[in-house]
Every structure is written in structure tokens, then in C-alpha cells.
Structure 1
């Protein structure tokens, strides 16, 4: 199905062939440890590099904090304060916001770091463009909001989630299955697919525009005036690169925000 949506057949023009981007872009060959349980391809290596970079960023940014912060410490504090003030405490309050802040902060910066590699040479592909990382984070969020609800109100959480108060009893035949699917199935599914699909589409668009630029400018020897099309494809590619930077941030913000919202709903008084 995916190969039908993203065909790999080349387009011939003037003796050259233009190869459109395909879904195989996200399944690169193994680079290290082939044939072992630890084999790594380019995307896996990107994920490891991003994870290490985030750990080092916060380690060196917080190990010698001073009352009057330097430039690097200020950047780290600004990022941490953004998540704490605008996401965690804004929705959960100070007490619960502080309680779940490590998880929300980790999700935000991990997703942001994995997303931004899609526009960073020589990586040029997002670590979240394969479903593994988004799915793992969505499962963690799923367990977290269920844990939060059961710990806050073990006797009420499941009952009020599946049987909302104020609904006539005979409507529960319809309402309860809908609530079960929307709360316990669709939440992790939508978290996973929203992030993965955005990164896939963004990567394919960038590859399409910059591949077309190279094709018109260098590979199509008989292009003539058609070489001017490379200006347009490069302009679109540059514009979409800036847009992908915005999308990388927005997807990290949305993922962290929805995580907080789900926890907030689990902690709500009606539960």
C-alpha cells in the first residue's frame, strides 16, 4: 500500500531520469553490526546521537548553575521554563505540574531533537519519521495517564471514564464503547500517527524539491531554459525547510501539551 502511494518509478527527460522520493527513504541499509540484534542504520544512529546530545546539553547546562546565569545556562533555563510555565504548571497547577515535569520535559526535548534532524545536514531525516519512537512515547503517555487516574481516584477513574456521570443509563450502551475507544485506544494512536505522518510528509516534500533542483540544474543535459525551473524548486525547498523547522517545534509542543492534557483529565475532580 505504501509503495503504491509513493512510487519509485523514474521519470525520463532528455536522457536523464528523475527519481521521485519513495517510502524506502525511511528504511536505509544497515551501517553497523549487520546480522546482530544491535544492527544500526542511519536513522537509528541519528536517534542515538540526538539522545546523547540532549543528555550532554542538560548536563553541561545545569552542572554549575550560578545565580547570574551565563549565556549557555540562560538558554537551558529558558527551555526548561518554557515547558514548566507554558505547559506543565499552566494545565496541571504547581503541585502536579512539578510532579510530572520530568516526563513532560523529556518528551518535549526528545521529540524536538528527533524532529529537527530532518533539516540538519548531514542527517536530513527526522528520528521520528519511523513509528518506533512516536509509538514508544505514546505508550509511555498511555501508562502515565492511566496510572495518574488510578492513583488519584482508583474507585472512580475507570467508572467515570467509561460511564460519564449525568448520562441516562440506557445511553451507556452507545456511550461506553465510544468512551473506551476514544480514551484508551485513540489517544495513543493519534499521538503516534500525528507525529510520524508529519515527519514523513515533510521529508518527502524536501527530498522532492531539492531532487528536482538537482535534476533541472545538473542532470538534465538538454534542459535549456527549463533549467530556470531549478530556481523555483530551490525556492520552494528553502521555504519548506523553514516551515519544517516550525513544524518540528510545533509537533514537540503538541505532543507534550496533549500528554499534559491527558494527565489533567485523569486527575480531574470528577474522577
Structure 2
């Protein structure tokens, strides 16, 4: 058995995914400011599909919803009730339901691209899109804070909280300011980006091993059972990645709501 396994491993090694997969070459408009690579095309296609689906759903909405309209409305109600209103309350939350709903559905669809055949790459698997979403949240909670407290009032409340001995402010104030400007958006960006990258690598690795043992291995008789196990493992990881796609959209949405809510004066 050991010799058979050695013969299998002696064959050509599987083509495993690498970080280079997330930096694909340009395929359209090379050498111009409008150059597009695979992951940018995935973002464009996913955005168009999302806008078309939601636009058609809105245009055909009825007082008594059909099955598809009920699914869409359930998703919107989930974001409104279980994310925005639960964190901020209805009075404050109404203003931010469109923003948080846009973040949630866009991130969810972009994440799902990683398990859709033909795409096989999450649109959030590079740092650019998560950073764009995080900067939007950053701008929004600063705008909210300035509107509700004024610029100095917000900075004062966050950097110089009451009840803290004044020598502590020497350390606390820079840390708090760094959190407002860098740590919050960085945490949103890195969490989303890292989960999508790791998920893609795990699923692609499992399927690469499955292909290797079934197709490329020298000893097909011994390789097919091993390949079947790798394929089942890859399928389970794909289902888990679909759950992670939803979970990361939910976490991003609820943290964004929390950050915006923290910009309001305390009751």
C-alpha cells in the first residue's frame, strides 16, 4: 500500500491554487486606464445581474406578493428588522436602511461569485472592493457624527471620555483617534477580504486534488476512491462557503450599523 501511494505521489503534482489567482492578467483594453481583468469583469457582471433582478422585481411588485417577491421582501425585512432596527431603533434606523441593505446584498452576491460555475472567484477576494465598502462606512459615520455632535464634539467624546484620569488621555486619545480613522475600516476590510481569499483557496485546493487523483494520477484504480473523497470534501466546503458568503455580508452590515449608531449622542 505504501509503495502504491508512493507511485501516485511520484506522478505529476496537482495544480494547486496560489495567491497569483487573485491577480489575473488583463483580458480587455490592455494598456489603457480601462483595462479589465477577470475579477473586475466578475464584479461588473454580478452588479448588472443584481440591478436587473432587483429592478424587475420592483417593477412587477404586487400588493399580494408572489413567491419571488416574497423572497426578496423577506431579505429586505431581515436587514431592516434584524440588523438596522435591532441596533439603532426604528427612529434613527430608517435613514440607513437603504445604505445597509445595499451593502448587505452587494457583498452577499459578490461573495457568492466564488462558488458560481464560470466565475469561481469571489468579487471581494481582492482588497479593493472590501476597502471601498469600508470607506463608505467610514465616511457615513463621520458625516453622522458631525451632523449630530459637531466635529469637535464627536472627537472630544471619543478621544476624551469622561471619568478617565487626565494622564491616561496621553495614551488613550491617539489610540481612539486611530480607531476612528484606521482600525474600524481596516477591520471591516481585512475580515471580508481574508475570509473570501481563504475560502477560495480551500475549495480550489480540494477540487484540484480531486481532479489530480481521478484524471492525472498514474494509478487510476487507486486514485479514483481518493479523488472521490476529495470531491466530497470540496462539495462540503462549497456549501460551507455559501454559508460564509451570507455570514460575512451579515457581519459587515451589522458592524457598519454599530459604527454609525456609535456616532449618535448617548441617550
State the alpha-carbon separation in 1 of the partners of residues 244 and 265 from structure 2: 30
Match of 2:84 in 1: 88
Question: Which shifted more, 219-228 or 159-168?
Answer: 219-228
| In structure 2, distance between residues paired with 1:161 and 1:184 | 12
Deviation for aligned residue 1:75: 1.5
Give the equivalent residue in structure 2 for 1:46. Answer: 42
Q: 2:256 aligns with which of 238, 251, 259?
A: 259
Counterpart of 1:56? 52
Deviations 1:51-78 (A, max 9, x none): 1111112111112322111122112211
The aligned length equals 259
Alignment partners' CA distance in 1, 2:61 and 2:221: 60
Q: Secondary structure at the match of 1:130?
A: coil
Q: Secondary structure at the match of 2:27?
A: strand
TM-score between both structures, scaled by the size of structure 2: 0.93
Question: Larger RCO: Structure 1 or Structure 2 (Cα < 8 Å, ≥ 6 residues apart)?
Answer: 2
Q: Secondary structure at the match of 1:31?
A: strand
In angstroms, what is the RMSD of aligned CA positions?
Answer: 1.4
Provide TM-score, normalisation by structure 1.
0.92
CA contact (8 A) 2:155 2:177 kept: no
Q: Is it true that 1:177 corresponds to 2:182 in the alignment? A: no
User: Comparing both structures, which one devotes a greater share of its residues to helix?
Assistant: 2
Secondary structure of 2:141's match? Answer: helix
8 Å contact kept, 1:117–1:123? yes
User: Is the deviation greater in 199-208 or in 222-231?
Assistant: 222-231
1:225 is paired with a residue of what secondary structure? helix
8 A contact 1:117–1:127 mirrored in 2: yes
Matched, 1:160 2:157: yes
Q: Determine if the alignment matches structure 1 residue 132 to structure 2 residue 128.
A: yes
Within the alignment, does 1:198 sit opposite 2:203 as a pair? no
Question: Where does 1:7-26 land on structure 2 (aligned, <5 Å)?
Answer: 13-26=9-22
User: 5+ unaligned residues in a row in structure 1: which ranges?
Assistant: 1-11
